[in-house]
C-alpha cells in the first residue's frame, strides 16, 4: 500500500491505495486531462474523491463479501474542478447533452479500459453521484 498526496496527484484529499490502483489512477489522470481539453477546452486542476480505504462489505451491507474499498483497491470520484474554477459534478452533469455531460461520458468510458470495475450513475441509485473504480478480480463496466 502507498500513500498518495498532493502535489504528486490532482486527486484531493490524499489517500492510501494499493500500488496497482495508484498506478492506474496516474494513467487515468493523464487521460482525463486529454478528455477535459477535448470536451471542455480546459485542464483539470483537482479531482474530488470520496475515499479509497474503508473496511466494509459491498454496498455497506451487514454481511456478504468485502468491498474492494476494504483493501484500498477502489476509489470513488465525484467532482472534477477545472483550472478556471468551473466544476463538473457527476450528480448534476451526468447524462446531460452538454460539454460537461459529454466529458463525464468519455471519462467513464476511458475508465473501463484501465480498471476492472467501473460503476456510475447508470448502474444503480447507490452510484448516482460518483464513479466507482476498482481493480478487483471481476470485470464490469456500467
Q: Where are the domains of the chain?
A: 2-141
Q: 16 near 52, Cβ under 8 Å?
A: yes
One digit per residue, pLDDT tens: the chain, 142 residues?
888 886 556 888 888 999 999 999 999 999 999 999 999 999 999 999 998 988 876 777 788 888 888 899 999 999 999 999 999 999 999 999 999 999 999 999 999 999 999 999 999 999 999 999 999 999 999 9
Question: 19-59: per-residue pLDDT in tens?
Answer: 999 999 999 999 999 999 999 999 999 999 998 988 876 77
Q: 124 near 59, Cβ under 8 Å?
A: no
- How distant is the alpha carbon of residue 40 from its chain centre? 18
Instruction: Check if CATH label 3.30.1380 holds for domain 2-141.
Output: yes
Amino acid at each position: 500500500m502507498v500513500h498518495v498526496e498532493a502535489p504528486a496527484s490532482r486527486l484531493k484529499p490524499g489517500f492510501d491505495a494499493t500500488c496497482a490502483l495508484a498506478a492506474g489512477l496516474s494513467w487515468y489522470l493523464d487521460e482525463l486531462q486529454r478528455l477535459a481539453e477535448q470536451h471542455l477546452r480546459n485542464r483539470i486542476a483537482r479531482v474530488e474523491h470520496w475515499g479509497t480505504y474503508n473496511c466494509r462489505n459491498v454496498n455497506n451491507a451487514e454481511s456478504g463479501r468485502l468491498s474492494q474499498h476494504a483493501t484500498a483497491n477502489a476509489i470513488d470520484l465525484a467532482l472534477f474542478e477545472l483550472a478556471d474554477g468551473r466544476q463538473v459534478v457527476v450528480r448534476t452533469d451526468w447524462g446531460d447533452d452538454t460539454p460537461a455531460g459529454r466529458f463525464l461520458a468519455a471519462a467513464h468510458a476511458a475508465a473501463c479500459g484501465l480498471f476492472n470495475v467501473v460503476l456510475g450513475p447508470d448502474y444503480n441509485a447507490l452510484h448516482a453521484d460518483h464513479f466507482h473504480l476498482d481493480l478487483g478480480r471481476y470485470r464490469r463496466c456500467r
